[in-house]
Amino acid sequence: MTGESGALSTVPAGVWHEPRLRQPGSREPAPGELALVQSFINSHYDLEFEHGADLFASTAALARWLERRGLLGGAADSLSQRDVRRALAVREGLRALAKGNAAGLGLAGLNEAAAGAAIEVRFSPSGPSCVPGGRNPIDRALAIVLAVAARAMIDGSWFRLKICPGEDCGWAFYDHSRNQSGRWCSMAVCGGRAKARAHYRRRRDVSG
Ligand SMILES: [Zn+2]
């Protein structure tokens, strides 16, 4: 898959595929491979089937999510509770990074969960690419997510992936705007709610 800037893909095409998922506020998903990382972070809130359900709530749920993207290689039964905890640590660590609080909670957990999720480098006439090197399925799946995230941090596209500050939201949206001014996952949902709360507070302060 080719990125925005015509950059090479991190992981060879065909290793996984990201379904096109609904986004709040009819935003476009992140371009190219980064859509995988975006969906991974947004797995805390199912917008498609069971509104609000955590898509990593159990080994079976995590297996379904990974399988849907071709990231599990048919090894759905192999996942353990520990694998779920690792996936959650990676998810919340990436959310903390995207929020820009690198010192925040989650990074120690992210690095611990990343241990063993190995990436190997391969070369071809079209350039280098990464392939997962771990032996067990969760190591391989997490390696792909982490490699794509790391690559996006290097090429800069990561910094358009923002976390909505809405109360109980935390949705990762991709800010396609020219001046990168996007703040909410959706102006109609979180932006509107924040505005209503501020309005209510102002009225209350004035009246009492
Ligand atoms: Zn939001």
159, pLDDT greater than 90:
yes
- Residue with the bigger pLDDT between 166 and 73: it is 166
CB 91 within 8 Å of CB 56: yes
Q: Which residues lie near ion ligand 1 (Cβ < 5 Å)?
A: 164, 166, 169, 171, 185, 190
Window from 17-21, 39-43, 51-55, 103-107 with minimum mean pLDDT: 103-107
State the first-to-last Cα distance of the chain, in angstroms, to the nearest integer: 58
Model confidence at 4, in pLDDT bands (50, 70, 90)?
very low
pLDDT score recorded for residue 117: 94
Phi, psi of 192 (to 5 degrees): -65, -40
Cα 197 to middle of ligand 1, angstroms: 14
Cα 91 to middle of ligand 1, angstroms: 17
pLDDT score recorded for residue 45: 94
Cα 173 to middle of ligand 1, angstroms: 9
Cα 66 to middle of ligand 1, angstroms: 24
Say which amino acid occupies 12: P
Query: Vertex 167, ends 38 and 93: CA angle to 5°?
Result: 40
pLDDT score recorded for residue 103: 63
201, pLDDT greater than 90:
no
- Residue with the bigger pLDDT between 9 and 119: it is 119
Cα 21 to middle of ligand 1, angstroms: 16
162, pLDDT greater than 80:
yes
Cα 127 to middle of ligand 1, angstroms: 38
For the stretch 77-119, pLDDT in tens is: 889 999 999 999 999 999 999 998 666 666 888 999 999 999 9
Cα 150 to middle of ligand 1, angstroms: 24
| Whole-structure pTM value | 0.88
Token digits of residue 135: 């032996």
Residues 33-69 as b or e (16 or more Cβ within 10 Å = b): bbbbbbbbbbbbbbeeeeeeeebbeebebbbebbbeb
Token digits of residue 147: 């490699």
SS3 (DSSP) at 124: strand
Q: Mean of the per-residue pLDDT values for the chain?
A: 87
Cα 28 to middle of ligand 1, angstroms: 15
Q: Can you tell me the distance from the alpha carbon of 12 to that of 14, in angstroms, rounded to the nearest whole number?
A: 6
Cα 190 to middle of ligand 1, angstroms: 4
Q: What is the mean pLDDT of residues 159-177?
A: 94
pLDDT score recorded for residue 167: 87
Model confidence at 207, in pLDDT bands (50, 70, 90)?
low
Cα 189 to middle of ligand 1, angstroms: 7
Cα 36 to middle of ligand 1, angstroms: 19
Model confidence at 42, in pLDDT bands (50, 70, 90)?
very high
CB 150 within 8 Å of CB 119: no
Cα 183 to middle of ligand 1, angstroms: 9
Cα 185 to middle of ligand 1, angstroms: 4
